[in-house]
Structure 1
């Protein structure tokens, strides 16, 4: 698809091409407009470039994706993380991919979820994120890693998040597809670091969840001090006397999962 460039806007597009621009904010576009000596208002420039397919919407006001001439017309190159990256283009948010989205970013899950799952470090940070993301609250102890251009929780942090808020996991049936490989990537030290100073209920849930997959880690986790619910307080599917877990949620018995200890050694 051929896209036109009005002569008055050619310097702006040329500069975007020269910089190999990806996400463009209003402020950045204004800087380019002024540096290029274009007399048209930045808002008008943005409108005209959007109309001609050079700037694509991201879901964030004042942030666009630049579609360079090398692409086949007004086609996005942003992929699954474009919406989250557009947030970072305007402001700092303490958050990272979690659950299946994190497993996908780590190369463990074979696909990303339709709505990227993002863990914000606080409710205040969560409010900065758009509705197009599946947002929950979890503050990891371990630092993020950067994958797919965005912050991502480490495997041990994802496991701690799952144990902290089991009902935040969209589908435990789907999670079983990538959970074993995620658990295999976690190190004992990382898991123990993530559990340090967290409530005993989180420790018990995590021990219960990974006991079959990683008995080497589960045996290092402190035993429970009280009965803990895994899921909402309703009819119990199974009870684990060792971890004192009343499981009302999981569609599988984690005790029956084959060990993946040493799988990545």
Structure 2
């Protein structure tokens, strides 16, 4: 379909073509009008450009997709991140970053794209209404060191993705196990340790498990060794591999080496027979005879060469 270029908007279209704009906002049109010396209303100009087929409609109010002349008609580019780009163009300093499956696809890891893209937002930032339905939001904050920019899109890097993965937030568990087992997941171990500095013990255990499941046992061991020293049996903490004291109730007697992800299964608190388990203890203990959910890395589990999707779903969230 042929598109018309009228004389009043010719200079504006030329400037947008030269600058390579993908998203056009009202403020952007106003600045271009000042550059080319055109007077008038930016919103009225946006209406004319949209009517002539130079701007495409988006759900984000006040933003449009610029359709350059190199396309054979008024057709969208099909970029699945257009609404995400529009939010960054409308809000200067918006803290939204691509996360989970979206980050894995940009990094070239995920081989399957899910129906909804994922962004990570802090707890005090509202989820845009224009992205509801087509996007999914997770409330996870990764330090700026774990964020990178790919094709103009802020996203989690390899280290940020490794630290930020949660079983409740990563829906493509089968795909996660697939790309995680293809080759050892190479990361900057020092950066991972810095990202985990303010993280919980569950996050450190989860990160070490993912690294070990991918075959990068050296990095997993460094994360475990950098953790706090092991407590006495009954603490439920991850036991360090360099601990020379065998855990109580260990099947191997006289052994001085303990697996990097071995979890002490002794009860945290003594209780009288028949009394209910505390809620926190029920989440951390592994009792196959009473609870269906088991912690990954538990010594009672069978050792697999590659991570199973059910094991990834049972990671501490």
Coarse TM-score class (shorter-chain normalised): 0.7 to 0.9
Q: Does 1:160 align with 2:163?
A: yes
Unaligned runs of 5+ in 2: 231-235, 238-267, 269-280, 302-307, 313-317
Structure 2 contact 146–159 (Cα < 8 Å) conserved = no
Q: Distance in 2 between matches of 1:62 and 1:41?
A: 13
Counterpart in 2 of 1:113? 114
Structure 1 contact 126–137 (Cα < 8 Å) conserved = no
| Structure 2 length-normalised TM | 0.66
Q: 2:135 aligns with which of 109, 118, 133?
A: 133
Q: How does 1:166-177 map to 2 (within 5 A)?
A: 166-177=167-178
Q: How does 1:4-23 map to 2 (within 5 A)?
A: 4-23=4-23
Q: After alignment, is 9-18 or 100-109 more displaced?
A: 9-18
| Structure 1 length-normalised TM | 0.78
Against the structure 1 CA distance between its residues 21 and 79, is the aligned structure 2 distance closer, same or farther, given a 3 Å change threshold?
Answer: same
Q: How does 1:211-250 map to 2 (within 5 A)?
A: 211-213=212-214, 214-220=216-222, 221=224, 222=227, 225=237, 228=283, 236-240=292-296, 242=298
Choose 1 or 2 for highest CA Rg. Answer: 2
Structure 2 contact 97–119 (Cα < 8 Å) conserved = yes
Q: Distance in 1 between matches of 2:125 and 2:70?
A: 37
Q: After alignment, is 180-189 or 16-25 more displaced?
A: 180-189
Structure 1 contact 22–66 (Cα < 8 Å) conserved = yes
Q: Distance in 1 between matches of 2:300 and 2:97?
A: 31
Structure 2 contact 101–172 (Cα < 8 Å) conserved = no
> Which structure's residues are more often strand, by fraction?
1
Counterpart in 1 of 2:309? 251
Against the structure 1 CA distance between its residues 208 and 22, is the aligned structure 2 distance closer, same or farther, given a 3 Å change threshold?
Answer: closer
Q: Distance in 1 between matches of 2:4 and 2:103?
A: 39
Aligned-pair Cα RMSD in Å:
3.1
* TM superposition shift of 1:83: 1.6
Structure 1 contact 59–83 (Cα < 8 Å) conserved = yes
Q: How does 1:1-265 map to 2 (within 5 A)?
A: 1-77=1-77, 79-91=79-91, 92-120=93-121, 122-128=122-128, 130-131=131-132, 132-141=134-143, 142-162=145-165, 165-180=166-181, 184-213=185-214, 214-220=216-222, 221=224, 222=227, 225=237, 228=283, 236-240=292-296, 242=298, 251-253=309-311
Unaligned runs of 5+ in 1: 255-265
Counterpart in 2 of 1:263? none
Structure 1 contact 58–64 (Cα < 8 Å) conserved = yes
Structure 1 counterpart SS, 2:56: strand
* TM superposition shift of 1:146: 0.7
Structure 1 contact 126–135 (Cα < 8 Å) conserved = no
Deviations 1:31-86 (A, max 9, x none): 33354454553222211211221011232211112111111211223622222111
- Give the number of aligned pairs: 244
Q: Distance in 2 between matches of 1:6 and 1:243?
A: 73
Q: After alignment, is 131-140 or 34-43 more displaced?
A: 34-43
* TM superposition shift of 1:150: 0.8
